[in-house]
Amino acid sequence: MRRQSSMKHPPSKTAPRARTAHLIIVGCAVACGWGLALFSTPQNAHQIIEGLFASNYKDGAWQRSLFGFFGHLTSRIKMRVTALSALGLCAGVFAQSSAVVDQYVAKESPIAKAGLLANIGSKGSRSAGAKAGVVIASPSTVDPDYLYTWTRDAALVYKSIIDQYIRGEDNTLRANIDDYVGAQTILQQVSNPSGTVLTGGLGEPKFKISLDAFTDGWGRPQRDGPALRSTALITYANWLIAQSNSTHVVQKLWPVIKLDLDYVANKWNSSGFDLWEEISSASYFTSAVQHRALREGVTLAQKIGQTGVVAGWTTQADNVLCFMQSYWNPTRGFMTSNTLGGRSGIDANTALASIHTFDPEAGCDAATFQPCSDKALSSLKVYVDSFRSIYGINKGIAANGAVATGRYSEDVYYNGNPWYLTTFVVAEQLYDALIVWKAQGSLTVTSTSLAFFKQFVPSITAGTYASTSSTYTTLVAAIRAHADDFVAINAKYTPADGSLAEQYTRDTGAPLSAKHLTWSYASALTAFTARKGITNGSWGAKNVKVPAGQCQSNQGPVVKATFNVVATTVFGENIFLTGSIDALKNWSPDNAIALSAAGYPTWSVTVDVPASTNFEYKFIRKFNGAVTWESDPNRQVATPASGSFNVNVSWR
């Protein structure tokens, strides 16, 4: 969520006590499975621990993580390994370890919910001026100005609200949900710089809180919003159907859902800006949420007799799933976030994709990137490790300990910092994985996920470990503690009043950027829910399979556009065309389309472009290796539904 263009008191540290530390470390060594290690004598242990506390504890090296501290310990001593059974002690140690998180969750949960609701509609205490059902990103109006509504943010927020309502946690939310349906029904019809409802306008990412169009420059289109909105509304629709209220679904929800999913089916293979609004390319998060939305849209359509869309949406869902497999980087073991952009591709994008497409009935399926899949776990480790050395607040934390995480390591927005929501997402993915392992009674370690599991049991090998095994018990306890440690990181940098901004600074942990970020509050609530072992039902991932053979694309209907520009040039100088869509090479001057000078001084080229689409473009000059762009603003075109058209302009 890069929007283009008071510091908390740290918690007091309890002075270490050697006797308590001795019990904790011995208990951890015995019960957590790393060789069931014991010290030769309590006296030796006492001396070693005191030394470690003196050198490391004051720097926060183990960050409340017993595993992090044990990692420091084992690097300095030679242990005598003994086979012991002390699982009861381990349970006590982990209970002590999670106490801080228990307290934080108990305090922060009502604050986060209140903060979220305060940012919604005309009744929200921080959202004055917003129409009913409109989610503001943040009440901040300067540094930065987030007093707008984003389709993506609103959908993720309302998905969490709808889930709370369906679970019976808060029956007062029904009117709020209906307000959201009404607001989105209006918003879909608002013409905007991305187009009209029928010419690409559903890809517009951002609107005024009055439900009017935002017309300034921005990273548009963004194609995840329609998919996320349809997922939220389908969740509500399924509940209404279960209450024998199909009529309301057909009359009020289905028209909105169908518009969104028709857009997804037609546009999934077209580039758009990613969820951080910075890179125009294929994006894993976008592809993953599009796939989910199409699948559950097909199921809903069958329930309410709208079968005309089933074949087309199913075909495109298969195509998206096939395409999703191409993001995997087998050499480095992570899911690439964006196919373009010049960055490493290691990004919170993929962890967010995993939790927002979590299906508790799909097991550890790698094709849909379920949280406990080997690819998702490997990718998560690579992502977390990318932040270990770049943030000052992560200094001194053990190599297998929890750390604060941000969007991606190359981030420069506000100097590039940890975000509350990205640190929560790590915990949530791990909690989701634990839910599935418990349900299936086992966990599987593969060569792909081996490095992830070695963080907790260095000697582990690939294989399946039943819940009756000591290895399974050790791993789930360790991973649960690890997940809690990520929550504890956020707890450490949450102000005393519980407010959650967008970021906290990389060197001091002081809150930064937009205040009271709605998405931050929603991410806290969904992570806390996952920690309780609560799930939100299946969306059908269990039964899907990647199509055999070569992936098929969906280019959709095209029309022929002839671009004519009058431009005088010198010998050796040529005119090229580029723009905001794939057909015009996504603003790439290197790959721009050459025009013919056969009708000089008119330069011309004919290109197949998507039908019923709004896009932007410019002409450029190339001469002796130099590139000269036309003056601003970008030119705009709205293409017809069929046929052909000409564009006749002069260089400016």
The single residue of 274, 359, 365, 432 carrying the catalytic annotation is 274
* CA–CA distances in Å: residue 355 to residues 82, 143, 372, 433: 39, 30, 10, 10
**Does the annotation count 274 as an active-site position?**
yes
For the four alpha carbons of 415, 337, 264 and 160, in that order, the dihedral sign comes to negative
- Kindly give, in sequence order, each residue whose CB lies less than 8 Å from that of residue 564, ignoring residues fewer than 6 positions away: 599, 602, 603, 604, 646, 647, 648, 649
Q: Is the peptide bond before 144 cis (omega within 30 degrees of 0)?
A: yes
Q: For this structure, is 170 an active site residue?
A: no
Active-site pick, 224, 260, 277, 347: 277
What residues contact residue 112 under an 8 Å CB cut-off, 6+ apart? 498, 500, 521, 522, 524, 525, 528
Q: Tell me the C-alpha distance between 12 and 488, whole Å.
A: 14
- Binding-site positions read 218
Fill in the amino acid letter for 358. F
- Count of CB atoms within 10 A of residue 249's CB? 22
CA–CA separation, 470 vs 473, rounded Å? Answer: 5
Which positions ≥6 away from 495 have C-beta within 8 Å?
6, 8, 511
User: Which residues participate in the annotated binding site for substrate?
Assistant: 218
Give the residue among 435, 545, 418 at the shortest CA–CA distance from 479: 435
| 287, 324 contact by CB (below 8 A) | yes
CA distance 199 to 188: 12
Cβ-Cβ contacts under 8 Å for 497 (sequence gap 6 or more)? 111
The verdict on whether omega for the bond into residue 589 sits within 30 degrees of 0, i.e. cis, is: no
Please give the positions annotated as active site.
274, 277
